[in-house]
Amino acid sequence: MQNTVKIASPYDLSVIKELNLMDRNELEKAIQTAQHLFENQSLWIPAYKRMEILEKAASLMSDRVEELIHLALSEGGKPYQDSKAEVLRAIKGVKLAAEHISQIKGEQIPMALMESAQNRLAFTTKEPIGIVAAISAFNHPLNLAVHQIATAFAAGCPVIFKPALTTPMSGIALAEIFKDAGAPEGWIQVVLCERDLAEALVTDSRIHFFSFIGSAKVGWYLHSKLSPGTRSALEHGGAAPVIVEQDADFGEMIPDLVKGGFYHAGQVCVSVQRVYVHEGIIENFIKKFVTEANQLTVGDPADAATDVGPLILPKEVDRVAEWVNEAIVEGAQLLTGGKRISETLYQPTVLLNPSEKSKVSTNEIFGPVVCIYTYTDRDEAINRANALDVHFQAAVFTKNIDIAMDTVKKLNATAVMVNDHTAFRVDWMPFGGRDTSGIGMGGISYTINEMMREKMTVIKSKYL
Which among 75, 86, 235, 245 is annotated as catalytic? 235
Is 235 in the active site?
yes
Strand pairing report for 120-128 and 108-109: antiparallel
C-alpha distances (whole Å) from 307 to each of 259, 293, 347, 378 are 9, 10, 11, 32
Spatial neighbors of 194 by CB under 8 A, at least 6 apart, are 3, 21, 165
C-alpha distances (whole Å) from 417 to each of 275, 289, 394 are 13, 19, 6
Map residue 357 onto helix, strand or coil: coil
Name the phi and psi angles at 14, rounded to 5. -70, 145
Alpha-carbon gap, residue 387 to 405, rounded angstroms: 20
Which among 269, 316, 371, 450 is annotated as catalytic? 269
Burial of residue 216, with CB atoms counted within 10 A of its CB: 0-12 exposed, 13-18 middle, 19 or more buried:
buried
Alpha helices in 101-166 (DSSP H): 143-155
Nearest to 50 by CA among 165, 191, 198, 151: 151
Nearest to 130 by CA among 159, 171, 97, 104: 159
Annotate 269-279 with b (16+ C-beta within 10 A) or e (fewer). Answer: bbbbbbbbbbe
Residues with a known catalytic role: 235, 269
